[in-house]
């Protein structure tokens, strides 16, 4: 065999051996760097602490995707406790000094969907370059306007990876078959991601509203400190809704609407990828296809599009107080949310006005408002958000808290005398539940932590039912527990208010 023949044989052997992998997935992506300009890296030099937080955010996004993809059967605590604690107690406290190459962290995810990864990278560059422009004290406002438009134009040259500058309906993020899986299973981590996004768009506002260098410096420090305040009690203080740029940074969104819309679409896509990776109903061999389909919809100017006016209205109707609050001129206390955590609002795509709640409910004074008088087109009575829905959800939450606290008297006071409990193929009435099942339920609730997903409340006259899911992990009576569950609670309204009339529990081991 000649030398040439040997090389040909080796080439053919390698080609044949690699064919199955190539047929399975073969794609090429191209990276593009900063648009050259004198203002490059000004923000990094002038606002080092804030800039480094963004490097930590990049790590947080990357480790999230890698964990969801490579550890689909990991317990909830892997992200909600172990990774969350590492991020908030180590990475954010001592953030990287320079931006990270996320592919070195999210190795398997970068292999799964390199196109989506580059979309995120390209938009993050736009984020950082606009920070640079707004932080450059050498530039007058007209020069800043010109540079921002030049950056947006440069961003759009990559049509293969640029997000559309047309607003996208929340249906693309929240009403797909895989939607909500991530936030329901990992509510604390989801809140952290929304906290990231609040700061990423929120920092534009002090850079634009500060009238002097000192005011801008002080404003950025205050906004960053507000982010840290959100971490104090994560399930209460992190955002309840995805922060919208038009609400959190209204000055920025009014002056640069295209950039604001691009960033909202970017952050929405982050949620979509998390849902696809977290949802076991999307088979592993379909996750790449679903991510690429969503990516194409976020890039085009025709899928799920709203008008700019509707986008602004929707941003306001979602409630600034539900997004973490204002990014400048805020009080010392975080705002009180007007919805329950996990609430999913629905909006009219033509007007942006809220039409109802897919899950969750309004709270406090918002539950008492006349939404019709405010112009909200509310749905039929079975899904209407009213003060009753808040009361119903309050009874169910109080029952669960009573179990965890070991307060059997409180738990029983929330139950109707006509109670029916269905569990494990058995049926119990009030007396049987009190004697047989309640003590065991209290012992289990106190021993094993459970994370409840968002609840759906439906009311028809004097009857209501609340459905929800949960994940439970721990040890009970020396036996490991790692399960997912579903709950249906039926309530009836009497003279003393809402009481629980029936409970149906089911659970299975996590696959």
Instruction: Indicate whether 369 pLDDT > 70.
Output: no
Count of alpha carbons within 13 angstroms of residue 375, beta-carbon side: 7
Q: State the pLDDT confidence band at 30, using cuts at 50, 70 and 90.
A: confident
Rg of the Cα trace of the chain?
A: 25
Nearest CA among 432, 429, 426, 424 for reference residue 506: 424
Choice between 466 and 86, residue whose per-residue pLDDT is larger? 86
Lowest mean pLDDT among 2-16, 267-281, 340-354: 2-16
Residue 69's pLDDT is what? Answer: 98
Choice between 79 and 400, residue whose per-residue pLDDT is larger? 79
Place of tokens 């952290």: 192
Instruction: Indicate whether 49 pLDDT > 80.
Output: yes
Q: What percentage of the chain has pLDDT greater than the value 90?
A: 70
Nearest CA among 330, 121, 120 for reference residue 230: 330
Distance CA 276, CA 255 (A): 34
Mean per-residue pLDDT, 475-496: 88
Count of alpha carbons within 13 angstroms of residue 306, beta-carbon side: 24
Residue 381's pLDDT is what? Answer: 30
Instruction: Indicate whether 371 pLDDT > 60.
Output: no
Which of 2-11, 14-23, 228-237 shows the highest mean pLDDT? Answer: 228-237
Instruction: Indicate whether 346 pLDDT > 80.
Output: yes
Distance CA 400, CA 90 (A): 33
The DSSP-derived string for 89-139 is: IIITTS--SS---GGGTSHHHHHH-HHHHHHHHHHHHHHHHHHHHHH-TT-
Mean per-residue pLDDT, 249-261: 97
Distance CA 78, CA 152 (A): 38
Lowest mean pLDDT among 163-172, 275-284, 464-473: 464-473
Q: Which residues pair with 427 in a beta bridge?
A: 422
Alpha helices in 166-203 (DSSP H): 171-174, 181-185, 187-202
Contact of 181 with 226, CB cutoff 8 Å: no
Both structure tokens of 309: 């006016």
Both structure tokens of 176: 């797909």
* DSSP strand pairing (344-347 vs 354-359): antiparallel
Contact of 299 with 261, CB cutoff 8 Å: no
pTM of the complete model = 0.72
Q: Which stretch of DSSP H or E encloses residue 254? A: helix 250-255
Nearest CA among 338, 501, 314 for reference residue 422: 501
Distance CA 478, CA 434 (A): 25
Query: Mean pLDDT over all residues of the chain?
Result: 89
Choice between 95 and 10, residue whose per-residue pLDDT is larger? 95
Residue 366's pLDDT is what? Answer: 52
Beta carbons within 10 angstroms of residue 218's beta carbon = 13
Which of 118-132, 354-368, 407-421 shows the highest mean pLDDT? Answer: 118-132
Which of 247-251, 395-399, 436-440, 503-507 shows the highest mean pLDDT? Answer: 247-251
Distance CA 106, CA 100 (A): 11
Contact of 362 with 385, CB cutoff 8 Å: yes
Interval 272-316: pLDDT, tens: 999 999 999 999 999 999 999 999 999 999 999 999 999 999 999
Residue 387's pLDDT is what? Answer: 55
* Domains of the chain and any CATH numbers: 38-325 (no CATH), 388-509 (3.10.450.50)
Is residue 460 classed exposed, middle or buried when 0-12, 13-18 and 19+ CB atoms within 10 A define those classes? exposed
Residue 11's pLDDT is what? Answer: 43
CA-based angle 286:291:295, to the nearest 5?
150
Mean per-residue pLDDT, 323-337: 94
Nearest CA among 96, 101, 102 for reference residue 52: 96
Distance of CA 89 to the CA centre of its chain: 21
Residue 6's pLDDT is what? Answer: 47
């Amino acid at each position: 065999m000649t030398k040439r023949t040997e090389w040909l044989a080796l080439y053919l052997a390698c080609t044949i051996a690699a064919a199955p992998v190539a047929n399975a997935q073969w794609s090429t992506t191209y990276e593009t760097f900063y648009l050259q300009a004198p203002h490059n890296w000004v923000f990094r030099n002038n606002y080092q602490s804030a800039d480094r937080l963004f490097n930590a955010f990049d790590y947080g996004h990357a480790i999230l995707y890698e964990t969801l993809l490579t550890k689909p059967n990991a317990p909830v605590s892997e992200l909600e406790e172990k990774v969350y604690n590492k991020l908030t107690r180590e990475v954010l406290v001592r953030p990287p000094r320079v931006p990270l190459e996320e592919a070195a962290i999210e190795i398997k995810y970068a292999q799964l969907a390199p196109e989506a990864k580059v979309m995120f990278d390209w938009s993050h560059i736009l984020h950082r370059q606009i920070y640079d422009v707004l932080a450059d004290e050498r530039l007058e406002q007209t020069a800043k306007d010109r540079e921002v438009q030049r950056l947006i134009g440069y961003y759009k040259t990559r049509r293969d990876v640029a997000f559309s500058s047309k607003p996208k309906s929340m249906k693309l993020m929240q009403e797909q078959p895989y939607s909500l899986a991530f936030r329901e299973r990992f509510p604390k981590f989801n809140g952290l991601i929304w906290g990231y996004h609040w700061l990423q768009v929120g920092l534009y506002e002090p850079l634009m509203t500060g009238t002097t260098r000192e005011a801008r410096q002080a404003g950025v420090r205050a906004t960053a400190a507000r982010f840290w305040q959100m971490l104090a009690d994560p399930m209460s203080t992190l955002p309840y809704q995805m922060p919208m740029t038009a609400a959190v940074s209204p000055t920025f969104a009014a002056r640069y609407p295209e950039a604001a819309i691009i960033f909202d679409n970017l952050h929405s896509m982050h949620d979509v990828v998390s849902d696809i990776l977290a949802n076991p109903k999307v088979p592993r061999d379909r996750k790449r296809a679903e991510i690429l389909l969503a990516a194409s919809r976020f890039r085009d100017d025709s899928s799920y599009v709203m008008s700019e006016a509707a986008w602004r209205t929707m941003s306001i109707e979602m409630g600034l107080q539900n997004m973490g609050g204002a990014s400048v001129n805020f009080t010392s206390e975080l705002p009180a949310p007007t919805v329950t955590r996990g609430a999913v609002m629905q909006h009219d795509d033509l007007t942006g006005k809220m039409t109802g709640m897919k899950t969750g409910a309004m709270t406090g004074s918002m539950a008492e408002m006349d939404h019709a008088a405010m112009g909200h087109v509310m749905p039929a009575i079975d899904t209407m958000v009213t003060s009753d829905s808040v009361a119903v959800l309050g009874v169910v939450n109080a029952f669960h808290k009573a179990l965890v606290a070991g307060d059997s008297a409180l738990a029983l006071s929330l139950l109707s005398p006509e109670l029916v409990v269905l569990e494990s193929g058995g049926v119990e009435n009030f007396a049987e539940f009190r004697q047989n099942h309640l003590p065991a339920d209290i012992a289990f609730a106190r021993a094993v932590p459970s994370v409840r997903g968002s609840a759906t409340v439906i009311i028809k006259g004097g009857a209501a039912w609340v459905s929800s899911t949960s994940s439970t992990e721990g040890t009970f009576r020396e036996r490991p527990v790692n399960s997912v569950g579903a709950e249906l609670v039926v309530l009836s309204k009497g003279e003393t208010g809402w009481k629980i009339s029936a409970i149906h529990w089911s659970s299975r081991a996590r696959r």
